[in-house]
Structure 1
C-alpha cells in the first residue's frame, strides 16, 4: 500500500509493485463486463435449478422443469411418426396389386422401402442391392422364387429355409458327390454339360455324357431345358447368371456339396407395412416382373428339393 501512487500520464493509481522500473496500473474492469459476468453467474445457478445438470451415483438431477434431451427426442419422433402415419395407413389399406396405380403413394412406398432396405438388407445384398457370391443381385430379372410383387412379398414375409415358419420358401438340392449319388467322373461330365448351356464351355464328349446324367438326376427340378422351376426355387442353368460362381471349381462344388442359403423371415421382425414397402422397393430396382409367371406345364414339387446355388436372383 505504501508504494502505491498516481501515475501522472494516465491519472490512474498503480498496484504498488515494480519490476525493473515497470509498474502495473490498477485499471478497473468495465462496468458492462462486470454486470455481464454477474449475469452469467446468476444464469448458471438458475440453469442448474431448472434443467438436469448435476451428476449422481445412479442418475443426475432432474431439474424443476423435468426436461430431458431424450424426452425431447421422443416427442419429436412421435410428431414425425404422426406426420407419416397418414401415408403408412394409406399404404396399409392399399393392396400390393393396386399400389402401382397410385403413383404418388407408390413413390412414397418405394422411398420407405429404400430406407428399410438400408437398415435390414444391405449387410447381405449390398448398398446397391447388387449382392455378391452367395447373395443374390436384386437388380436383374433372374429370380429363383419369382419376381412379381406378390412373389417378392411372400419371400420377404416367410424367408428362405426358416425353421418355425410353415410357409417359408423351402428347397434342398442333393449333394450328389458328397452323398455318393454320382461318382466324380459323372460330376465332371454334368458340370461340363451345365457350363456348355450358357456358352462357358464348347460342346464335347464330356458334355454329351453329362446331358444323360442331367436327364437322369436334374430334370425333375431344373426342367428338360434346364431353365429352372420357381415352384421349388430351382435356378435357370441356361443363362449367364450364377449365384455361387461359374468356374468349373465353383460348379463342381455346387454339384458335389450343394448349397442351402437362408434368408430371414421378416414377417416376425418387421411390421406388415414395412414389408410391403420393402417388396415395392425391391420390385422397383429394375428386375421386378408385372405378374407371377406360371409354373411349367407338368411341373411337380420334387421330393428331394430344388437346387439353390447356380443362378442369381431372389435367394
Structure 2
C-alpha cells in the first residue's frame, strides 16, 4: 500500500487521485451529516412503503397505511355537513319569516345565502347586489313584487317571466309603438318623466296631453298616481329608480318597444333550502320590508 501524502498547504491527507497536478483531499463528511443522510434514506424508504407513492395507470400504490388525501378531505366535508345538518333541517321545515325570527337560523341562513348569491346571482345583480341597467338593485326599498320575506322567496323560487315555471311572476307591458302616434308617445313620456321631476322645460300643454294619454293607457297598471302596482309587477314611476333610463327619450323608447327581462326560477336548480337562504340574505341587505 502506498503511503498517504499530506497536502502541504492544508495539512490534510490526499486520496492519491490527481488531475492535471491538482490533488484530491481526503475530507470525510462529518459524522452528524452522515447520520442525518442515512436517516433520510430510511425515512424515504419507509414512506414509500407506508403511503401512496408510485403512480400507476389509473391510480397510485395505496401504501400499507391506506392513506388518501382525498379521503381525508371527504371526511372533513362529511363532518362539516353533519355539523350543519340541524340548521339545514330547521331551514327546510320553516318559512322564511320563521327563519328570520330565529337568531341562530337567521345567522346561518344569511351566511349560506351570501355564499349562494356569489355563485348564482352576482352575474346580473352585481357583487354588492347594486344591480345594473335592466337588473334591480336589491339594497333599496323599491320592489316590483314586494319586499316582504315571502315575496322575495317566491320571486327567487319561481323567477320572473320564466316560461319553464308555471308559477313564475308574469308582467308584460304592451308595445305602444303600434297603438299610439309618435307625438302621443313623446307627450306621455314627458309626463311620466315629470312625475319624478325629470321633464325639464316641458310646456303645460305637453304635460296635460301626456297626462290624458297616461290615464287612458297606463293608469290601469301603474295607477292613476303612477305609483305602480305590485300585484301586476308594474313599477313606481314617481321615484328615482329606473331600469332602462329616466330621461324622456329613454322612457319613450320603453313605451314604444318595451324590454322584458327574464329571471330564472331557482327552486328547481338549487332546492328550497338554498332558495330560502338566498331570500334571507337578500332581505338582510337593507331593503327588505
TM-score (norm 2): 0.90
Q: Does 1:212 align with 2:221?
A: no
> Which of 56-65 and 277-286 deviates more?
56-65
SS at match of 2:230: coil
SS at match of 1:72: helix
Which residue of the partner structure matches residue 261 of structure 2?
261
Which residue of the partner structure matches residue 201 of structure 1?
199
1:21 to 1:58, Cα distance in 2 relative to 1, 3 A: same
Which residue of the partner structure matches residue 120 of structure 1?
120
> Which of 225-234 and 48-57 deviates more?
48-57
Which residue of the partner structure matches residue 303 of structure 1?
none
Q: Does 1:288 align with 2:274?
A: no
- 8 Å contact from structure 2 (residues 109, 280) kept in 1: yes
Which residue of the partner structure matches residue 313 of structure 1?
none
Q: Does 1:133 align with 2:116?
A: no
Distance of 1:151 and 1:288 partners within structure 2: 10
Residues 258-293 of structure 1 deviation map (CA, whole Å, 9 limit, x = unaligned): 11111111101112222112111111111111xxxx
Which residue of the partner structure matches residue 185 of structure 2?
187
Which residue of the partner structure matches residue 175 of structure 1?
175
Which residue of the partner structure matches residue 29 of structure 1?
29
Which residue of the partner structure matches residue 150 of structure 1?
150
Cα RMSD, aligned residues only: 2.3
Which residue of the partner structure matches residue 60 of structure 1?
60
- 8 Å contact from structure 2 (residues 176, 256) kept in 1: yes
Task: State the shift of 1:183 in Å.
Answer: 2.3
Distance of 1:237 and 1:64 partners within structure 2: 73
Distance of 2:88 and 2:248 partners within structure 1: 49
Distance of 1:4 and 1:252 partners within structure 2: 105
Which residue of the partner structure matches residue 233 of structure 1?
233
Which residue of the partner structure matches residue 299 of structure 1?
none
- 8 Å contact from structure 1 (residues 14, 24) kept in 2: yes
* Between structures 1 and 2, the one with greater helix share: 2
Task: State the shift of 1:19 in Å.
Answer: 7.0
> Which of 107-116 and 89-98 deviates more?
89-98
Task: State the shift of 1:228 in Å.
Answer: 0.9
Residues 38-66 of structure 1 deviation map (CA, whole Å, 9 limit, x = unaligned): 22222223322332222334333333333
- 8 Å contact from structure 1 (residues 228, 237) kept in 2: yes
- 8 Å contact from structure 2 (residues 198, 248) kept in 1: no
Which residue of the partner structure matches residue 101 of structure 2?
101
Task: State the shift of 1:79 in Å.
Answer: 0.6
Instruction: Give the count of matched residue pairs.
Output: 287
Distance of 1:281 and 1:131 partners within structure 2: 15
- 8 Å contact from structure 1 (residues 3, 17) kept in 2: no
Following superposition, which runs of at least 4 residues in structure 1 exceed 6 angstroms of deviation? Answer: none
Residues 116-174 of structure 1 deviation map (CA, whole Å, 9 limit, x = unaligned): 21121111111111111111100000000110000000001111111221111111111
Residues 235-263 of structure 1 deviation map (CA, whole Å, 9 limit, x = unaligned): 00111111111123322221121111111
